Structure formats: C-alpha cells, structure tokens
Structure 1
C-alpha cells in the first residue's frame, strides 16, 4: 500500500482510494484490488448446491460411496474392510476395467517422447550404453535381470527417468519402485516396493507377496514391460525372494522373476 500511495503524509492518505477514505486497511486493500473477495468461492458453492438438488439424498450418498469404493479398490482395499461404513447399494464393479492398468496407460505419450529425447541427449556415454542395453531387451521382451550400481550423485535417478519415459512413450507399462518412501518420491510414478507388490513386513524365507491370481495387480504385472527397483540394497533378501516366487506363480513359469525385465539399482 505504501508503494502505491504516492506522497502520503498520514494514515488517512494511505486509506484513500479515488477520493474515498476507507475506515480500515483491509477495506482499502480490497478497493485497490490487492485482495480478492470470497464471492467466487461462494458462487461455486451455490452452483454446486443448485446442481446437487437434482439428485435425491439417497442417490447422492450412493454416488459418493461408489467413488470411495473405486478409489479403495485401486489400492486393494474395500469399504467392506470398514464395518462402520455403509456399502453402495447394488455396487457392481466393471470387471473388464482394471484401474491399475488404466492409470498406467494414462500418461501423455507425446510429452514423454519429448522428455525422453531431451533426456537422452543429456546422458553420458556410459549412461547411454546402459539405457540402450536395457531398452533393447525391453523392446524384445527377453527375460533379463540387471543391477545398476553407482554411489550418490552418479545419475541413477536420471537413468530411471529416461528408461520410464522411453517405455511409457511407446505405450508400455513400467513399475518404478524404491525400498524407501523418500527414494520413491524421486521416481516418476514411484511407490515403495512393499506397497506396490504387497510384500509382507517382515518377510521370511517362505514369504510370498499378497497378490492373488486374477486380481488387478496380477493382471498389471502380466503386462508390465519393465520393473525398476531403486535403493535395492536397503531391502532384505527375503523381499526379493517373495517377489521372485510370486512373479513365477503369476507368469506360470520358473524363470527368474517370472521372466520379467527387472533392473535393480543402488549404492552398497
């Protein structure tokens, strides 16, 4: 206000806008346009209320519960897991629609292609060799397991981003996971390994992932073209064994990790 009230010699001068002296600085700020009113939000609420009255209370509750159930099922949960919560009447989930696959296919492929082309030009020669080697295997879908070792700051995360954008830009599905929550935030679409693969805590020698045949997660893993597991040395070996056994069961073979292309990374 001081920077716009030129030549002000008193508080009244500061509170004067177009010859009108406002009683408070707040009202003066509104008059100068420094503060927005709540009218936009009030109008939005009124519009939502007017639209909402087209539905009966019962219909509104059903739609709300259905939306919640869809979100829970995307994370392998259900309203039935919470006895105190009502369940949407007549809820029938579309078995042909896999939310997990749908979400993984919803990326902007054109944007990712541009991102990949830009990132690839910034790779070092060694990083390009790594990316080219892995992408050749991804494109042919040949069973392979790699480990990318590098201490902090050598560009492992940049390699993961490049691999993810390359695969997703071509319509492929990539599972990007990390052993810790903080590391997973640095990955595009990243999750923790225990969350993504339902690995028991704590895993034992006989543990398997809580993934059932025919479930959305099992169907997602069947069509996944690449799995990237960052900070792998932070996980116990039984976690890897659990995933190995589960993927063999899902893919109906005895290849390492069910024949899936998996890239471990980390710093010992």
Structure 2
C-alpha cells in the first residue's frame, strides 16, 4: 500500500497533474491522528525517529527510501482477506456522511436524448432510464432495493385545530366536530395520564411508544430494552423526527421550538403557560423561557440545516432569515456558518485552480456574500448593508444592475444561429404570429397579444423563437409564467410572482400594487424591455 513514489522521483506517474501529485503525496508526518479541515482525518504517520518504519523501493532504476509519508490508508484485515490493494478511509465528520448520501446513493443513471428530424416539441424529446443486467435480475427476483435502519417516525407539528383533515360530503360535520388525532394531540393525551411520558420530549416518544395508525394513538412498547427505574417501560432504537417548519410560518415555528425544549406538555394551552402565566403567543412563551435570546433560534435552525442540507440550501435559508426574519445580530450568524455556506464555492475554486489543498479565503467569502445579496434583492429588494450585514466588495452599480446583466448574458451568436435555422420551419399560422409580433417590437407600437392554440401545435417553439430573436439583438425579453414548472419550458423563464413582485394578499389589501421600487433593478429591466411573455 505504498503510493508512487511520484514527484521528482517519477514525473511520469499517472497521479501527476501540472507537476504535482493529485493525491497530495507525500503526506506530512504526524504524531497523532487529527481532524482535517475538509472533514477527513489526517492520520498518524510516525517518523523513523518516532518508531516509524521505512523501506527501500526501486523506482525507475534508482533506490528510494520510503517512509510513512507515502503509505495509503488501508485495513490489514481487508487487504489480507481479499488479497488485493484496498484504500480504506475513516468517516470522521458529518461532511463525509453528507458526501456519501448525496453523491454515492443518487440512484440509477438517466439519459436524455433528442430526435433531430422532428418538429413536434411533444415527441421531439424522449426521456429514459438505462437498467443494467445486474439491476434487472435484482428486480426480477424481487430483492430489496434499499433498507432503512433504525425506524424513523415522522411527528406532526400544527397549531391548535390546524391539523389536516380529510372529509367527504357525508362526514364533513362529524369530522369538523371530532377530527382524528395526530401524533401531536396523541402526545398531549398520553402525557395527561402517563407519568413516564411527562418526562419525555416530543421527539423521544417513538423510542418508548409505538404509533398505531389505525387507532391514531401512542401505545407503550411491549418489547425492547427495559428502562431502569420504570416498570413495563421498554426502549428501542426508533427515532422521532419532527417535521420542519419554515421560519416564515412564525407561530407554528415557535410551537415547534417549544416542543423540542418542553418535556411532557399536556395541551397547547400548557405550552403557552410559563411560570403560571398564560402567554398570548408561542413566541412570547419562547421569550420567557429564554429560547430566543441572542438569536439562538436562528442559530439552531442553521445548525440543523448544516447537518443535512447542501450549501446552496443553507445559503437560501440564511438569505431568507436575514431578509425577512430580522435577527438581532446577523453578522455573528454569518461568521459562525460561513464555512458551511461557502463549501460549494471552495470546491469550485479548487477545481478551477487545480489546488486540492486550498482553504477558505476572503475572496471565497466575498463570492458567497454576492450570491446571498442577489437572493436578498429577489426576496426583499434589499442589499446586505440594509440588513445589518457587511456588503460584498463589488462595483458600486452591480447591486442594481445584476438583473440587467443576467438578461444580457445570453450567447448572441448561438441565438442568431437558432433564429436562422428555425424561422424557415414555421408553418403559415406560426409565421403570421411571428411577423406580427416582431413588427410590433420593431416599430415600438406595443400592444397586448394572446396566442391561442391546442397542446402540441408549437406554441412553445414559436415563443422560444421570439425570445431568441429579441435577445440575439442584445435586447431584453422577459419570459414569465404562473408556475415554476411552466417557467422551465422557456430559456431564462421565471415565475411572474418573483419577477414582478406580484402581491399575494389581494383579499386583505384593497388596492394591491406590485412591490417594485422606481429605482430598483426590476424597474430598470422593465424600462428597457422589448417583449414580455
């Protein structure tokens, strides 16, 4: 299990990239195993003076004294059992587990291919999945595809009388008067009569109780490890997972915060009662219990997200918290979690620079802050300096013009080629609509046009061609849709609610208007826009 040796001993080694070993050999000598910055351990590698060993290896006709710096991590038992070289690494942190779960277990490969001799957008693209012979046999014999252990029980979170209820015309009144129990209401019921349950948190219930889906109730386990000091109480390795609640749903979010900190509540009212005082809201109860001091609730939210979420998801959550939830000290949250938020940026820079040992730098943090500021502009139309954060170092007008820059980032030559290729393929009716709309754009006469045609007759093909024509002249054309799925059909498509800041509370506000400031980025886009789809 000796690597190489490579480097100046053998520049032709397969691991050499740009004059350096891509596997980072030789490694440093260490007296003890320590945790590395990237989530992998730096193993103990003893020097010869520290009872380490060395051996002479012949490389390209010369003798090389090889010590522990060149040894590949391995397990002697596995190497002997399988009589082969096996590189074995020790998963040292949650980052390693995240890597395995996200990249190794992604599922079967998928391929998308196009048929170029057709002009029907419905039948032009085919999507399929390749099933290898091994997987086919595995499925034919009905072998288990995956296994989960231990058992994970999802626990509901809802406000009082806020659980989801299914009903039909015949049982609507009965369901409204007597709604079925949920895991949360059943937890309250058990705590009213069971002394042991009053010592537990909500998330601990599945370990000692089973959830009966038919009777909608928790029942004590009859098998497992006996709990010392309690008769007829057995423990298992089952885990309870409380459904996550978005911070924007504030009262339900604070209810969840109480459930993970208060033991044995018997009702929603008791959760609101602190030191004999009935609070008006769950947030007030959290404040009296000091659960909201020093932004601890946002700290816990980000801490939970770091365990299981990708850097992009953590970045989106952080942007949402600072732009809409107004934490007292967002700079401290940024300093604490900036490494996790910037993890994918560091990986991208390492690949670009071919430097696998590169660590976090101020430039990487600055790139991450720019992406966070872009999200905050889309969410709340605010820059980081208005949200208590240190603004990123970029040109003065970039914060306002990034929307305009995005609309000018298309490949003009490729779009022009698309127009030249596809315009002759338009049928007569499509050509009439195309010429009419292009004439309206060129003359500046404006207007509102409605395109009506059955599914599969080429509406998307025509609209994509119109967008390409406008953008090929370096003009701005917006592609908006009412849903995210529909927006993906068009190049550069977005939902109208996010782009135009459409109001969602029209039943509350008598005179709703779009939340677009006169000097905002979207206002500048609309001023120069030639076409809105």
Smaller-chain TM-score range? 0.5 to 0.7
Is this contact kept in 1: 2:441–2:530, CA < 8 A?
Answer: yes
Given the alignment, which residue of 118, 123, 133 partners 2:436? 133
- Compute the displacement of 1:172 (Å): 1.0
- Compute the displacement of 1:77 (Å): 4.4
Is this contact kept in 2: 1:157–1:187, CA < 8 A?
Answer: yes
Higher normalized contact order (CA 8 Å, seq sep 6+, divided by chain length): 1
Is this contact kept in 1: 2:376–2:382, CA < 8 A?
Answer: yes
After superposition, the C-alpha distances for 1:12-53 in whole angstroms (9 at most, x for unaligned) are xxxxxxxxxx834978xxxxxxxxxxxx97x6321x33xx6x
Is this contact kept in 1: 2:476–2:528, CA < 8 A?
Answer: yes
CA radius of gyration, larger in: 2
Given the alignment, which residue of 45, 54, 57 partners 2:356? 45
2:414 is aligned with 1:111: yes
Counterparts of 1:198 and 1:155, CA distance in 2: 30
2:514 is aligned with 1:209: yes
Structure 1: runs of 5+ lacking an equivalent = 1-21, 28-39, 229-268
User: Counterparts of 1:37-186 in structure 2 under 5 Å?
Assistant: 44-46=355-357, 48-49=358-359, 59=362, 63-64=366-367, 66-72=369-375, 74-75=377-378, 76-79=381-384, 86-88=389-391, 94-95=396-397, 98-186=401-489
Report the TM-score, using the length of structure 2 for normalisation.
0.31
Match of 1:221? 526
Alignment coverage as a number of residue pairs: 184
RMSD of the alignment, in Å?
Answer: 3.0
Secondary structure of the structure 2 residue equivalent to 1:201: coil
After superposition, the C-alpha distances for 1:37-80 in whole angstroms (9 at most, x for unaligned) are xxx97x6321x33xx6xx6xxx4586256423442355234446
Report the TM-score, using the length of structure 1 for normalisation.
0.60
Counterparts of 2:356 and 2:391, CA distance in 1: 25
2:260 is aligned with 1:200: no
Counterparts of 2:492 and 2:506, CA distance in 1: 25
Counterparts of 1:157 and 1:61, CA distance in 2: 39
